[in-house]
Amino acid sequence: MLSGLAGGRAAWSFAVWCLLLGLLAVGAGCRETPVQDHRECLTCHEGIETAGTGHDRDCACCHVLAENRGRFLENHDPILSNPASLDMAGRICAPCHQEELEAFQTGLHLSLAGMINQTRFLFGAQDRASPPIFGAGGPLKRPPMSPADPKRPAELVDDLLRRKCLRCHLGAPGSEKTFPYRGRGCAACHVLYASDGRYHGDDQVLDRSRTGYPKIHGLTASIPDSQCLKCHRPNYVGSDAHGLFERDYDSFFQEAVLGAEPAKAKPWGPYHILNRDVHIESGLGCLDCHGQADVMGDGRLAGFALNSPGTTCEDCHGGFGKPDPNSAIPGIAAENGIWFFDGRDGRRRRLPLFRPDTPSHDPTVHSRLRCSACHARWTAHDYGLSLQRQDGGDFRVWTYLVEQGDSRLEAELEELLNNPERTPLSLDLISGRTDPGLWLKGYRFRRWEHLVLGLDHRGRISLMRPLHQYRISYVDDQGQVILDSVAPERTRGRGRGWAFMPFVPHTTGSRGRPCETCHGSSLAAGLGLRWREDLQAGPDLDLLRPSPPAIAGMRLLRPEERSRLLSPGRGYGAKTFEQRKSLLSPLNDGLNEAQGLNNSQPGKVWTGPLKQAASEQVGP
């Protein structure tokens, strides 16, 4: 027994010594293999691209806050995946771009003040739309949270904005991981994302099967139109320049077969393809006209899009009382009395100039018109926007309206149709919080041929669009209908919360539309569609009658202006004949030949001595 006990003690002692030696060996190994310093990014990210022109510097300059750059980083936690986000740009980007960031704080791309304040005004939640009170970013207040038990549209509008309308807010969470894929903050424009949201660069570490990564690592100031169309896409100014008109959400239109595949499977998505803007056809892009002050702000607090700084038609082509282009605009120059524009693509184009001898350019009758009032070839009009917040109940009524123009919303709706017991959830696009309830929408009808005239804030006759024609419904979490297709009301009894707004469609043609698209047209005059005076318009046709704009100073046509439009003066017939003759005769070609300017026709690349370029026709 004693010998057995002694043997057991020996075995126990041997085991202890083995354990101690093992621990010492592990400790020694830890000392010999120190934890990696995560400031040494290229140790793992072999092959990753530089950050681009002007940003070719140490990774930590952008991806690590100043207080962490001098210390050992044991993990990725202090590494900023997007140093250009709204909450980091002031600390990372500002040391080099302070002036740009300060101007950006009051720009519309950050604040979205036009959308927010016009919508709140029309819903009766505030007394004016401009100057703005609320914004999604910058110095303006954020829209408040809606009450838990809303009973009228004015109590739902902030929830609508926060969970539906502000998807293009530059700080909207999850934008990198959901179609159409874009960054946040400065990266929303300056970091390019592929259409599939995946990385296509040479970094050997990044997972190419996952969404949420830029196309390649780096920043750029050469922003292509495809980046602008990440936000300017569904029947807004921007997509129209490329001839895109979004199809209706009903599956009948979404599933329509074009060729061998459904419309929604086409590379451009579920859109009708219409005429492109003449500037796009000539190879120009968004940033050729929309400069830094226009896109990023000029320091003024802009309350709506038409009040933003920007290059006008007259700046490049001249106009009433402006015989020459504005040489202060970057890219515009004259040589031997001929005006040119140097595009961002490095090509030089001859500028076609305003011709005062054209019948429709008679200053006695048309000097108040915006150029687009005649030169826009079509406009996108969405009539009767029905919006429903649904916290519970039966979602099967949305079976044929699953397409909502929002991939995140569509995925949630699919889940609800497959699992009726599921609680509907959606994201607050300002706070990032997920709350019960889902905002869904549908249009009464969508057209591109109805053109309506009114006046902008400067008194210029402009095309108008039905930007706000709301019908609001609300179904609570018990499936009870609280609101059923209710039209909002403006405050202080100022009428229904619908509005037509003046705008500049980007569907420009080199020639104006025929005169009768406005003259003699009850639609253009703001009287709606009228076949017979004794017939009353139904609810659908009533949508064609414009409502007053949301911004003070903008208005619809007055009775005397409508009268002149519907019954033009005695010279109208002669001018119409002259316009028809000019449309049938290639007068410009004859003039150019007579002046020996065959190689400098508008729409052709200039081959003169200042810049050598190809002489083929510009555009596809």
Would you state the pLDDT for residue 236? 83
Name 320's Cβ contacts closer than 8 Å, sequence gap at least 6: 314, 354, 361, 363, 366, 367
Neighbour-count burial for 415-425, b at 16+ CB within 10 Å, e otherwise: ebeeeeeeebe
Name 343's Cβ contacts closer than 8 Å, sequence gap at least 6: 283, 284, 285, 288, 331, 349
Select from 175, 179, 184 the least CA-distant residue to 80.
Answer: 184
- The answer, yes or no, to whether residue 241 has pLDDT greater than 90, is yes
Q: How far apart are CA 175 and CA 161, in angstroms?
A: 17
**Residues present in the chain in total:** 620
Query: Residue 258 — very low, low, confident or very high, per pLDDT cuts 50/70/90?
Result: low
Q: How many Cβ atoms sit within 10 Å of the Cβ of residue 105?
A: 18
Considering only CA atoms, give the Rg of the chain: 30
Q: Provide the H-helix boundaries in 265-406.
A: 278-281, 286-289, 292-296, 313-317, 363-366, 372-375
Q: How far apart are CA 619 and CA 416, in angstroms?
A: 45
Q: For residue 517, which amino acid is it?
A: T
Would you state the pLDDT for residue 532? 56
**DSSP symbol at 436:** E
Nearest 5°: the CA angle 534, 547, 568 is: 65
Q: For residue 207, which amino acid is it?
A: D
Sign of CA dihedral 450, 455, 456, 461: positive
Q: Average pLDDT for residues 583-598, to the nearest whole number?
A: 40
Q: Average pLDDT for residues 164-186, to the nearest whole number?
A: 92
Percent of the chain whose predicted confidence (pLDDT) is above 70: 82
Query: Residue 270 — very low, low, confident or very high, per pLDDT cuts 50/70/90?
Result: confident
Q: Average pLDDT for residues 589-604, to the nearest whole number?
A: 38
Percent of the chain whose predicted confidence (pLDDT) is above 90: 67
**DSSP symbol at 505:** -
Whether the CB-CB separation of 267 and 251 falls below 8 Å is answered with no
Q: How many Cβ atoms sit within 10 Å of the Cβ of residue 250?
A: 14
Query: Whole-prediction pTM value?
Result: 0.85
Q: How many Cβ atoms sit within 10 Å of the Cβ of residue 367?
A: 13
Q: How far apart are CA 455 and CA 464, in angstroms?
A: 8
Sign of CA dihedral 526, 527, 530, 532: negative
Query: Residue 18 — very low, low, confident or very high, per pLDDT cuts 50/70/90?
Result: very low
DSSP assignment string, 171-215: T-TTTTTSTT---STTHHHHS---TT----SS-SSS-TTSSSS-S
Q: How far apart are CA 184 and CA 189, in angstroms?
A: 8
| pLDDT tens digits for range 94-146 | 999 999 999 999 999 999 999 999 999 999 999 999 999 999 999 999 999 99
Query: Residue 568 — very low, low, confident or very high, per pLDDT cuts 50/70/90?
Result: confident
Q: How far apart are CA 511 and CA 158, in angstroms?
A: 43
Q: How far apart are CA 509 and CA 240, in angstroms?
A: 13
Select from 554, 166, 103 the least CA-distant residue to 302.
Answer: 103
Helix (H/G/I), strand (E/B), else coil: 23: helix
Q: Domain residue spans in the chain?
A: 50-102, 107-232, 374-390+439-566
* Token reading at 369: 């018109």
